[in-house]
Amino acid sequence: MSLLEYITFSFLEYLSLFVFIFVQFRFSIKENITQIGMIALLLSFVSYSFTSSDLNGVLPLVQFIIVLLYIRMVMKVTIFNALLMYFVGYIVLGVAQTCIVAVARHIQFLQGDLKPATYEGDVLQFISSCILLLSSYVIYYLKGGFSFIEARSRFSKKTFVGKNVIYISFVILAFIITVVSSIIMIELENPPYLLIASILLIILISLFYLSLRKDEVID
């Protein structure tokens, strides 16, 4: 496994994830781009270290702790808001990647297990990263996203009102469907890849549409 190859595509994936989270919740990219780059690079090296040491089982927990602490300490939000931002970002990334994997398996681009630092793995990481970066640009350009989480903010009732509830509920639904889709692709001998990809694509488009609607504002 090439260190440079692994770090490059892993860095791109983490970078796109953080950019999406910042844009989705209307935090400044310009003011935080250096920190975003540094934490993305750190996570890439952590991921490589654990993967090369066959510690993939504990890697998600380590990533979760690092990302959560970063959001909590740097963005000065509550633990609840940090968790919400974390799960929204990862669920959207998960939906995108599962959709791409379903399409890749349908056209037989991907066969067997998906592994990092392989041609297939690099391509899928690159595509999913581009999807998140492009979505982030469009959301930013059209002034979408949600403002119910602010820097140095405490838990607010604005989180669970109107359109915010619809978005959060849809994110939870997307998570459930993604998990079920992943299980189907693993367990079934001939999974309906095209159907799964179509459903996940609809979910992605719906999440994108909800992100462009103005969130609820409480005076």
Q: What are phi and psi of 203, to 5 degrees?
A: -65, -45
- What integer pLDDT is reported at residue 218 of this predicted model? 41
CA atoms within 13 A on the CB side of 86: 20
In a domain, 219, yes or no: no
Residue 154 resides in a domain: yes
Tens digits of per-residue pLDDT, 118-170? 888 889 999 999 999 999 999 888 888 877 665 555 445 555 556 677 878 88
The DSSP result for 123-161, as a single string, is HHHHHHHHHHHHHHHHHHHTT-S--SS-TT----GGGGS
How many CB atoms within 10 Å of residue 4? Answer: 8
Dist. CA 164–CA 211, nearest whole Å? 10
Structural domains in the chain (count): 1
Q: What pLDDT was estimated at residue 149? A: 65
The answer to the question of residue 217 being in a domain is no
Residue 38 carries which side chain, given as an amino acid letter?
A: M
pLDDT along the chain (219 residues), means of 10: 87 94 87 90 92 82 88 79 86 90 88 78 92 92 76 53 74 89 87 90 86 56
Residues 6+ apart with CB under 8 A from 128: 13, 16, 93, 96, 97, 100
**121 burial type by CB count under 10 A (0-12 exposed, 13-18 middle, 19+ buried):** middle
Residue 187 counted as domain residue: yes
The predicted structure's pLDDT at residue 10 = 93
Backbone angles phi, psi at 48, to 5 degrees: -65, -45
Domain that residue 36 falls in: 3-212
pTM to 2 decimals?
0.84
If DSSP codes are grouped into helix, strand and coil, which group holds residue 94? helix
8 part of a folded domain: yes
Strand, coil or helix: 55? coil
